Structure 1
């Protein structure tokens, strides 16, 4: 009980600090608004509505939600667009809330969906297009791929047979961007440092995902052939249980090969550690004895025990994302709208609604304790190369991005 009270007090301090800090953080948005204080008012309404929902006060939350729905417009300022995503999430959350004193079980809202649900084919195509556009217009995923490849190239130095196991296959990007970049780096080496054989194994979460991986793999093999590299690609299905259903023997690791396991924005899809899934995945990786485990994750945790804490974390995180999109693209750019509505909006909406099973946002250092228990340790990437990459990338992206190391990540 004492621990619970401490958590509540910590959450209350977080809310008070956020209410004080948001006006300063939002000053960058105010230049584009005509009402002179609309973003600050939106933050106050969002926090108040989230507090009411957390307290199961449906009447108060509904009243605040009606005010928010008229103020948070999808084609408005940067923060209005952020707020519109969270308003929808709060609406989904409210549909799951029982009034105080009610007894029983409430089913999931009809409109809520998992962040990775495909829905109909047309919606899936729009989401895939939005993911590709997000990769194109923002440096986040490109930098993650660059940093991961730099670590792998170092681990593969002087090896004749190299093998990469990719958990989730780089977010389903149809071009196989990360592996084309890795092959380009390997091909620049001179004998005897040029590997005679490159194996890439993609791990998918279902039959459809595996089929798509095979299509991507054909392009990767062809790209390697054009570079003079012998590339082999295999696709493996982890099973209905998700990544925790993967077995080490499925990956057919061969004696003498240099093995690296790569996971880009995938461990946040593993259910939280208390249910054993994260430990199971890390223990499977440890049994493979890889030379390196490359982990790329978002710098945010949407996995706290309390709804209000998750809401505040997500609001801060996605406000920064939308701010960077606003700096990169014009206000009415079609690309920006697609990225916001079909990629980031559904994720922010999930963060502000009821957390579905299997969705567990995490920051990179969140997995450090279970990694240690599984027999691994963190090894930070030297950001010198990252600074050089970012300096060159500024020709393509807008200014304002930096590289930082925190807690060894």
Structure 2
């Protein structure tokens, strides 16, 4: 139920705006800044030029400007096809067989045989080769780390895992460029963000204060385009409160990363004249957050957002009091007006190493195959994602056990059971939104990407494998 409002919404204008919030994620935003860079005098400092360039990069990626001017090819180029044809037909099968056999030797404790097979895999693999050569290179690194008992050490140093990858101190512009290439070649993140923003915008259209509680806010890349659309709502924008929750950053100033995210969002809110308040929460164990930490206020519209971070919470195989269920219980206590969840659909969370290894191999095979079909093999941003993000995730799955293993995905059906048990009911999918998103994926991306509905979940995949899923929930006592 929407909170009381002193606004008189214009339903026709609001409906049009809701459509634009989906479309703008694929096209030009409302009143976009000009894409061409103005000529700068030689007297301007290098620092100023760098700041201007960074602002343009942020706008290009986060507000989707210049989307038409620079679009990554979403079909197989003749160059890529030619390279694939040159690859031996049985090469992929051979490498996959070698990897699974090597994992079996590792599981049985036969380190000598595993090491010998690992050498053979190394000879056949390459980080710049075809799909399975690149995949084998990554998985070989994971096996080697496990054999050297280095998994726990690497994880503690922040070298393994998705969350550590995104929390590292790296060049912001480089990260944004890689992120942009990923969004342009693969719809998974873009569609998930568009879906979440659309549902939050639609349900909060009468709110005077919108409070977004974002579990795993990272850089806050999801929110600038929503801020832009809130700014032109009939009757004026609501006050926006964002509670950003993230893991502590290694080092002395553990909250520095989250503070930078707050400053970024504050700049966009100031630019679009949206009243803004930011509440950062830096904590290792999200299940220990208390309601009072969230600073909830009476009469505000509460939207809980958690995209692709649920799988980093521990489960019952590690803790008797399952942190996943504890966080869901916390969200239920917030009594949110909407809870948007996006999950990685994966079965590689088995406590048994070989089973986990085989399932991870299937999952990452699809991701590497996806990039091989949408990006040239010498693309540096592709290499960045494969050898940085995907490599860190896969190595964590392969090399780490116990609390050191933070990549613990479940299927969306398993999350369905958890959410219902925690006292939530799923909301029906908006069919107009689904059609818009599906049409845009079909028009703008490779033909082998799929998007469809399954039990009120929006599922996305590559060929015959489901990669991720999104859904919306409310507490049982609330009306839809």
Range into which the TM-score falls when normalised by the shorter chain: 0.7 to 0.9
| Counterpart position of 1:228 | 273
User: Any residues of structure 2 matched to 1:6-405 within 5 Å, and which?
Assistant: 31-96=84-149, 113-115=159-161, 116-117=163-164, 121=169, 130=178, 133-169=181-217, 172-173=218-219, 176-191=220-235, 194-206=236-248, 208=253, 210-237=255-282, 239-240=283-284, 242-274=285-317, 275=319, 276-355=322-401, 356-379=404-427, 381-382=429-430, 384-392=432-440, 397-405=445-453
Larger strand percent: 2
Distance 1:185 1:236 in 2: 26
Identify if the C-alpha distance between structure 1 residues 358 and 392 changes in structure 2 by more than 3 Å, giving closer, same or farther.
Answer: closer
* Deviations 1:175-203 (CA, angstroms, capped at 9, x unpaired): x3311122233234312xx4431211111
- Structure 2 CA distance, aligned partners of 1:408 and 1:382? 9
Q: 1:108 to 1:397 in 2, by over 3 A?
A: closer
Q: Distance in 1 between matches of 2:417 and 2:438?
A: 30
Post-superposition offset of 1:243: 1.3
SS of 1:305's equivalent?
coil
Q: Equivalents in 1 of 2:438, 2:422: separation in Å?
A: 33
Distance 2:328 2:138 in 1: 33
User: CA-to-partner distance for each residue in 1:302-349, whole Å, 9 max, x for gaps?
Assistant: 212321221122111111111111222111111211121111122122
- Which structure dedicates a bigger proportion of its chain to helix? 1
Contact 1:260 1:291 in 2 (8 A): yes
Deviation at 1:357, TM superposition (A): 4.1
Distance 2:96 2:452 in 1: 27
Where does the alignment leave 5 or more consecutive residues of structure 1 unmatched?
A: 1-27, 97-106
Distance apart, 1:55 and its partner CA: 2.5
Preserved CA contact (<8 Å) 1:32 1:77: no
Distance 1:317 1:357, change over 3 A: closer
- Contact preservation (8 Å) 2:396, 2:405: no
TM-score by length of 1: 0.80
SS of residue matched to 2:367: helix
How many residues end up aligned between the 2 structures?
Answer: 364
Cα 1:225–1:154 shift into 2, 3 Å: same
SS in 2 for 1:403: strand
**For the residues of structure 2 that align with 1:57 and 1:131, how far apart are their CA atoms?**
40
Is the CA contact (8 Å cut-off) linking 2:146 and 2:398 kept in structure 1?
A: yes
- Unpaired segments ≥5 residues, structure 2: 1-80, 458-480
Helix, strand or coil for the counterpart of 1:177? coil
Task: Give, in angstroms, the shift of residue 71 of structure 1.
Answer: 0.7
Q: Residues 323, 204 of structure 1: CA spacing in aligned structure 2 closer, same or farther, 3 A cutoff?
A: same
- SS in structure 2 of the partner of residue 53 of structure 1: helix
Please report the TM-score for the alignment, with normalisation by the length of structure 2.
0.69
Distance 1:133 1:209, change over 3 A: farther
